Amino acid sequence: MRFLAFLIRRLIGIAAVMIGVSVITFAISHVIPADPAVAALGDHATDEQIAAFRAEYKLDRPLPGDLGRSIRTRRSVADDLADSFPATFELSFTALLVSIVVGIPAGIWSAISRGRLPDVVVRVLALAGGSIPVFWLGLIVIGLGYYQLGWFPGGGRIDAFVAPPPLRTGLYVVDSLVAGDVEALRSSLIHLVLPALTLGYFSTAVITRMTRSSMLEVLGQDYMRTAEAKGLRERTVVLRHGLRNALIPTVTIIGLTFGSLLSGAVLTETIFSWPGLGRYATASAVSLDFPAVLGVTLLAAVVYPVANLVVDVAYYWLDPRIQRG
């Protein structure tokens, strides 16, 4: 019951954020001087044509209602988001997975090797990851992995001569596994490598630094010294007694990182021709496609509270003090 009440409070907060963001975004998009109807029809459009265009795309409607149709694609915004979001989710989830698998062990290794060569190497790589611009790294990765070595494709989600798997979730890797399509699975996985490494490098650096910092703090605690005094192996002390407490701040960074990856993959998707939410948002903003911009903003507004909800649930199970509270 306590966990259910905890979960309900968080869901109410997500609903409040959704309402607030939708109102603010709608108001801002209709206050700016640019007119999407004029932008789509041209300066020589008549008043009747502009009025008909606004009525067709529901630009003259009040806030309540559906997301309407995209001015640019002439499709439902909900359908466009349903097509674009799975691609961004697949890329972002893969990048986050790479960040976790590499960042947490690297942070632990750096902490237990403090002041020695492994610590220096990890810190330098983490500093570089937080400093290198994504667009520059993406171009370097393409130049090396695609043009020079020819090991990986240069862009897209799947090879042009390979049929996409039957659509179930929109995630090509998952749909390929479900369909048993080995060729589509191979192609979709190899297309993920370069963009996932590019997008995940920055978050790997952030997770590494946070894990190292929190692990160093934990290693100095009395209960850690007591465990060492009892003769336990260093690996047992670090992984069993220290890692759980050190992961609490790291989990926060992971949740926030995932939200930022989902909503901020614009440059990576552009460089690698990845047909995701970032490219859709950029094209919609350039063409003054207000319904699409509003839809993308609302979706991004959902991502962060949901990521925070997952973090809160992880806190609940990692920290017994929250369960008692």
Look at residue 3 in the predicted model and tell me its pLDDT.
61
Look at residue 77 in the predicted model and tell me its pLDDT.
83
Contacts of 74 by beta carbon, 8 Å cutoff, 6+ apart: none
Distance, in Å, from the CA atom of 134 to the CA atom of 268, rounded to the nearest integer, reads 7
Quick one: which of 95, 99, 93 has its CA closest to 209? 99
pTM above 0.85, yes or no: no
Quick one: which of 264, 290, 301, 296 has its CA closest to 21? 301
Contacts of 14 by beta carbon, 8 Å cutoff, 6+ apart: 302, 305, 306, 309
DSSP code at position 171 = -
Distance, in Å, from the CA atom of 63 to the CA atom of 76, rounded to the nearest integer, reads 17
> Which pair of tokens denotes residue 106?
């690297």
Helix and strand tally (H, E) in the chain? 15, 0
Look at residue 321 in the predicted model and tell me its pLDDT.
56
pLDDT under 70 in the chain at which residues?
A: 1-3, 5-7, 10, 22, 25-45, 47, 49-50, 53-67, 220-242, 263-264, 315-325
Look at residue 142 in the predicted model and tell me its pLDDT.
86
